Structure 1
Amino acid sequence: MDLFGDLPEPTGEILKHSNTNGSSVDGLFGDLPSPSSTKKMTENLPAKRKIQDEEKQETKKPALGLYQLHGYYYARKGEREMMQDAHVINDAFHKTVANLHPSIHRLAYYAVFDGHGGVRASQFSAAQLHQYLTAKLPKGDLAQVEKEIKRCLIETFKKTDEEFLKEASKHKPSWKDGTTAITVLAINNTLYIANLGDSKAILCRYSEQNMRYIAVPLSKDHSPTDYEERMRIQKAGGYVKDGRVLGVLEVSRSIGDGQFKTTGVISLPDVRRCQLTDNDRFLLLACDGLWKVFTSDEVVQKIQANIHNDGAAPKEKQVVPNYEGICGKLVNEALRKLSGDNVTVVIVDIQKGEPNQ
């Protein structure tokens, strides 16, 4: 069942992002049945059909052939007074979650937070968001988790924002820190991407049609200049000047930024889904310090050039490249190109085979 429908399935090519207003939670769940409608559908099924469906669900065998995921990173302060980025790499997130259903063989979690106005919002999010996610993760089998994971991620971001703002308000003067967020949760072989602001995630996928690796965008920027974002800000009593909220804040969604919450800046993430395939080589998350000077395709081609395997089909990959060194080269080149910002890059290698338990 396709819960999101906005990213290519295993045999598909890149699709355009769907336009999501994000002004209400209900709007994000137009593609999911409500609990009441699901119950009615079940009640209307013949008894024999219900029994068959239940038996199928109970006897469903777990998926085999998990891809190995292993994360690497590099980060530098750049020209800013302090390093305000934070990141998380957890290849074995499932080990921290109790009572997982046997149908869930692997959880992995990756995140990059690009702070502004201070380091506290990004550091708080890096330390706490996945903890809140653990507490809110749906119970039950894989089908139940897939059904509820979108709402879970939205509630997790909301909880992180609320808890940080509570902490910020305890101090005099109140903390003004804020942060963007790009997170990827891997459940078995499916990626769930949630983001706020202008940090991005891309997937490097081999295109049979183009006979080369291409960049699949996994996130959508939240800029005050976007029509829907600007309309929400204006309806809340704010305004956009010089591409910024109130002429100050460069993003229209974030964690923290308490002083802007009454002017339309929200913590509601876009949530997207993508199924991993044999054509996928790596996942990349980075703050806007990288994207200010490189396009997604440029990043993919630069990494491929460093791997010395440009254009090769996925079946030919054998040795894991030095991704940590490649991350460093990307960050350093971005700074040499006068990015003028902190730069953090996380690369997640994708390989066939069972992960280490």
Structure 2
Amino acid sequence: MKMAFYFYMQSSAHMMSKLKYEQNETENKHEKKQQKSKLKHETKAKYDNGHTGYWKIFFHHISHHKKGNKHTTNNGAMGQTLSEPVTVKGTSCCENTLFRVGSSCMQGWRVNMEDSHTHILSLPDSPGTAYFAVYDGHGGAKIAEYAGDHLHKYIINRSEYKEGNIPEAMKKGFLEFDSHMLDKHSLRDEGSGTTAVTMIIKDDKLYCANVGDSRAVASINGKAEPLSDDHKPVNQSEYERITAAGGWVDCNRVNGNLALSRALGDFAFKRNTEKGPEAQIVTAYPDVLEQTITSDWEFIVLACDGIWDVMSNQEVVSFVRENIAQGMDPEDICENLMMRCLAPDCQMAGLGCDNMTVVIVALLHGESYEKLQEKCKVRAVGVEEETEVSEKDKGGENGELI
């Protein structure tokens, strides 16, 4: 059965959100039947921030999908998996004159959905400033969901943010948020953690802060431009911090356990009282990259490693660009991309068997989405060779790390 739910939210500036839920039920190994039903409604949402106007905001967290077939198998790379994937999709879209945004998430083969994501077209007290993020949880969904609801608030409430120092606000906001969770009893004893790839766009400036291996990539005239660095324990600087704090790396994992070296939560790896929060075995201190958006920027893709483990940066950018050129909306492209990455079974060392979340931010530059579609019909020059080069372990190299 395939079901779609559309949510429309209008404030002082036009904004639409569409939620689509899609599930394929398998009758047997060889036959699948699909049905589609639609429900539409309209509503208005208002956020009172002491000023005239509205806070145009949309959060979307999917963590309680129907689990499907509960028979599980043990996959060494990814933990337990279902005998059939859950292909329910939580899909949404929103837009203004600057951006057209689509997002979607899917549980896939995993026993639980642990991802979260956020998109805010206009931050409170900062009109025209947008916030986008993807959080890939592990060991449970609690930290990822909490980050999706609250991390951006810690950033924008920092004095550095109000003074215009956004990179410093993001760095200190991450650490303050992590410290808050450590002080919160219900979260301190929570064994889970999450990656975070977050993005603030203000005027023509983009600031990307990340911990872990969720990633952001821009399409610039069809060429993939990484906006974040993956934090893996085998990276030299990460390895040195881990060992200096009393940890070790075994089988490419922190203490033989965690496959990433920076995260929110994961407090079992943050107990060295002789080290500051930036120097723990696993730290919540983010890298922040600043870039200037120019007219040749087409769109940005934020996604968890369920996507990047299967496709390279350039492969994802080319896939999205081709779908835009064919007239598809960002939210539908997100769905297509996840299905492209979904493994037919879980015999592929875990590749394509993870939770998946994708956010596509189409950059309109004050023009219509149709203009971007026309632009994407022009063949990108000089990128074909790069699709053959694996970028799965590469992060941002050309921006300014601050």
Would you say same fold, with TM above 0.5? yes
Alignment of 1:303-314 (within 5 A): 303-308=320-325
Which fold has the larger relative contact order, with Cα–Cα distance below 8 Å and residues 6 or more apart in sequence?
1
CA distance in 1: counterparts of 2:334 and 2:201, whole angstroms = 21
**Which whole-Å deviations, capped at 9, do the CAs of 1:185-226 have from their partners, x for residues lacking one?**
0111111000000000001001xxxxxx10000000100001
Q: Secondary structure at the match of 1:78?
A: strand
- Deviation digits for residues 67-118 of structure 1, max 9, x if unmatched? 712321011001111110000011122xx22xx5xxxx52100000000000
Q: Is the partner of 1:194 in helix, strand or coil?
A: strand
How do residues 10-159 of structure 1 correspond to structure 2 at under 5 angstroms? 68-93=98-123, 96-97=124-125, 100=126, 106-136=128-158, 138=160, 144-145=163-164, 148-159=165-176
**Count of paired positions:** 259
Structure 1 partner of 2:230: 221
**d(CA) in 2 for partners of 1:67, 1:275:** 19
Q: Residue 243 of structure 1: CA displacement?
A: 0.3
Task: Write the distance in 2 (CA, Å) between the matches of 1:257 and 1:139.
Answer: 27
Whether contact under 8 Å (1:67, 1:350) holds in the other structure is: no
- In the aligned structure 1, how far is the partner of 2:318 from the partner of 2:230? 22
| Structure 1 letter corresponding to 2:358 | V
CA contact (8 A) 1:67 1:189 kept: no
1:273-352 equivalences in 2 (<5 Å):
273-308=290-325, 321-336=328-343, 338-352=351-365
What does the per-residue CA deviation read over 1:320-339, in whole Å, with 9 as the maximum and x for residues that have no partner? Answer: x4111100000111113651
**SS of the residue aligned with 1:348?**
strand
Letter aligned with residue 166 of structure 1: D
Partner of 1:193: 208
Question: Closer, same or farther in 2 for the Cα pair 1:328/1:170, shift >3 Å?
Answer: closer
For 1:231, give the aligned amino acid.
E
Task: Report the 3-state secondary structure (helix = DSSP H, G, I; strand = E; otherwise coil) of the residue aligned with 2:342.
Answer: helix
Corresponding residue number in structure 2 for 1:19: none
Which TM-score applies when normalising by structure 1?
A: 0.69
- When residues 259 and 298 of structure 1 are mapped into structure 2, their CA distance, relative to the original with a 3 A threshold, is same
The alignment-based identity, stated in percent, is 35
Q: Which runs of 5+ in 1 are unaligned?
A: 1-65, 207-212, 310-318
Comparing 115-124 with 299-308, greater Cα deviation is found at 299-308
Q: CA RMSD in A?
A: 2.0
Deviation of 1:139 after TM superposition, in Å, equals: 6.3
Candidates 229, 242, 245, aligned match of 1:233? 242
Please tell me the residue identity of whatever aligns with 1:324.
Answer: E
Q: Aligned letter for 1:135?
A: N
Residue of structure 2 equivalent to 1:258: 267
2:251 corresponds to 1:242: yes
| 3-state SS in 1 of match to 2:166 | helix
Q: 1:134: how far off? A: 2.3
Q: Aligned partner of 1:197: which letter?
A: G
Please state which structure has a larger fraction of its residues in helix: 1
Letter in 2 for 1:288: D
Number of the residue aligned with 1:164: 181
3-state SS of paired residue (2:110): coil
Unaligned runs of 5+ in 2: 1-95, 272-279, 345-350, 369-402
**Alignment check: 8 A CA contact 1:200 1:221 kept:** yes
Check if 1:353 corresponds to 2:366: yes
Whether 2:195 is the aligned partner of 1:180: answer yes
Equivalent residues of 1:70, 1:91 under 8 A apart: no
User: CA shift at 1:170, angstroms?
Assistant: 4.3
In 2, Cα distance between equivalents of 1:332 and 1:225? 30
SS at match of 1:326: helix
Q: Which has the higher strand share?
A: 2
